[in-house]
Structure 1
Amino acid sequence: MGVAIREAEGNDRELIVRLLDDAFQNDPVSRWVFPGEEHRRTTHHRLMAAFTGIVLAEGRIDVTEDGSACALWLPISPGRHSTAEDPDGAARLREAVDPGNERVERVARLMAEVHPVDRAHEYLWMIAVAPARQGEGLGTALIREVIDRCDREGQPAYLEASTARSAKLYERLGFGFTNRAVDLPDGPRMWPMWREPR
């Protein structure tokens, strides 16, 4: 049986933020951005809300019909970064989310340095599956929804994997490393990955 997927709307915002917050609380990058557990518990959701707002305005969020998984996609034009990766956007993001935390801005700037923008592509900014539903293929179904379209339209796709485990999943879907890892200072590594259309 297939996974029912629909495009999120404005009234799905709270659901998406909660899903992202739950799924990424213990992600290595989130732990680096918000190193204190209590601070992360009380602040992390603001970053997820900011991301959700950007993608609702500029891109597309796909969500499973049961609300257990979502994928945030941004169309990237040649020569253009996403709002959060733009230098001014990264500073505004920090100010809105956690003004005293330079890591909010720094991670966005580091990601922008390796994000290829010489060709139009679909950018999988984030994908989240409720912790209790991980391993059921929901993330794969969400990604396939867009990469199948990319294949039909001859468009590449891009993402940054935040764990070696997720990188393996993306490899199975045709993504390959760009050979420009992001090493967060005294923190984890992120693997930028690119997929040519098939």
Structure 2
Amino acid sequence: MGVAIRVAGEGDRGRVVQLLDEAFRDDPVSGWVFPDAAHRRDRHPRLMAVFADIVFAGGRVDITEDGTACALWLSVPADDDHADEEGPVQLREAVDPDNVRVELVGRLTAGIHPAGRAHEYLWMIAVAPEHQGEGLGSALVRSVLDRCDQEGVPAYLEASNERSRALYERLGFGHTGRPLDLPEGPRMWPMWREPRAGSAAGA
């Protein structure tokens, strides 16, 4: 299936935040961070906006030409140890100051992030609910994995639910280390993909 993909610009910010909010509002991790549904509807868009701004500033946001799906990527250098003590605190203060789980999820995911090798980090991928199951997520990820294969760069992500975990396994990601069990909450799976020499990601 041919899916037109381009790099998102600042003018796409609103749509990217909307996609992230719609796709992740009922995700197990979002439900753990914001257990109360009404509170989640209020604060979840703020969290997604902060995530989008971080990647717009320092990474790459890919979006389908029709605006139905997007993927947020960061290029992580080999010497990045993810030991940002202030980042999770600032995130909580910006999004939901009294909610320690906003800070905790940032600290815990940073704690399992692999160090020592440069890699592409798929932070989030979002598909509009009415377009899920159409292969848009796979197309977005493959477009970057093809480049990873050409350049010999591995890729990393944390799957936050069983459906996305299965998708990433089909795309060549394998589990690395132990799963992350959020306190009294859901499981997240750190996944790593080595570049495929001499073959395309979709082959």
The TM-score normalised by the length of structure 1 is 0.97
Report the residue type matching 1:181 in the other structure: P
Report the residue type matching 1:166 in the other structure: S
Cα distance change, pair 196–184 in 1 and its aligned pair in 2 (3 A): same
Query: Which of 104, 124, 138 does residue 140 from structure 1 map onto?
Result: 138
Unaligned 5+ segments in structure 1 are none
Question: Following TM superposition, by how much is the alpha carbon of 1:81 offset from its aligned partner in structure 2, in angstroms?
Answer: 5.1
Question: Following TM superposition, by how much is the alpha carbon of 1:79 offset from its aligned partner in structure 2, in angstroms?
Answer: 2.8
Task: Tell me the alpha carbon deviations over residues 47-73 of structure 1, each in whole angstroms, 9 at most, x when there is no partner.
Answer: 000000000001000000010000000
Moved over 3 A (4+): none
DSSP 3-state at the match of 1:110: helix
Task: Tell me the alpha carbon deviations over residues 126-155 of structure 1, each in whole angstroms, 9 at most, x when there is no partner.
Answer: 000000000000000000000000000000
Structure 1 vs Structure 2 CA RMSD: 1.0
**Alignment partner of 1:46 is 2:46:** yes
Report the residue type matching 1:150 in the other structure: C
Report the residue type matching 2:159 in the other structure: A
**Alignment partner of 1:120 is 2:94:** no
Contact 1:176 1:193 in 2 (8 A): yes
Contact 1:181 1:191 in 2 (8 A): yes
**Alignment partner of 1:28 is 2:14:** no
Among the aligned pairs, what percent are the same residue?
A: 66
Pairs aligned (count): 196
The TM-score normalised by the length of structure 2 is 0.94
Question: Following TM superposition, by how much is the alpha carbon of 1:86 offset from its aligned partner in structure 2, in angstroms?
Answer: 2.1
Unaligned 5+ segments in structure 2 are 197-203
Q: Distance in 1 between matches of 2:96 and 2:178?
A: 28
DSSP 3-state at the match of 1:117: coil
Contact 1:182 1:190 in 2 (8 A): yes
2:201 corresponds to: none
DSSP 3-state at the match of 2:67: coil
